[in-house]
Structure 1
């Protein structure tokens, strides 16, 4: 049980050393991540649609 309590004491100690982002930075990072995810989803959706249409065309021959 002593190892477990020592582990959590170390966790708390390390968490105090963490440099947390300010609200403005966090908002900016969140917007960057969300816009990247949306862009990649649209990109891969278009690529998937193109490949599907190409395969439909090829199989219809």
Structure 2
């Protein structure tokens, strides 16, 4: 019985072994990390303070809404 064309192509194309693929992956990650532009200490501090400020403001907004709705619900239940 003759093999189909797909089966023949499948047999010809062999994947490299697990260790070779993993090694290639690690090398690729290392190459990409070398391309990264890391922030300076001052940039990192500025960005962190902006994020913390926004988190604080949003926390206050959620607290005010929660307290308001909780008070409204307490008035409705009474």
Does TM, scored on the shorter chain, surpass 0.5? yes
Is the radius of gyration larger for structure 1 or structure 2? 2
Task: Kindly provide the CA deviation profile for residues 7-53 of structure 1, in whole angstroms up to 9, marking residues without a partner as x.
Answer: 01100100000011111111100000001101111110111010111
Scaled by the length of structure 2, the TM-score of the pair is: 0.74
* Alignment equivalent of 2:64, drawn from 35, 42, 46: 46
Which runs of no fewer than 5 residues in structure 2 stay unpaired?
Answer: 1-18
Greater helix percent: which structure? 1
Scaled by the length of structure 1, the TM-score of the pair is: 0.93
Aligned residues: 60
Q: Distance in 2 between matches of 1:4 and 1:49?
A: 53
User: Where does residue 8 of structure 2 map in the other structure?
Assistant: none
* Alignment equivalent of 1:15, drawn from 23, 33, 38: 33
Considering only aligned residues, what root-mean-square deviation do their CA atoms show, in Å?
0.7
4+ residue runs over 6 A deviation: none
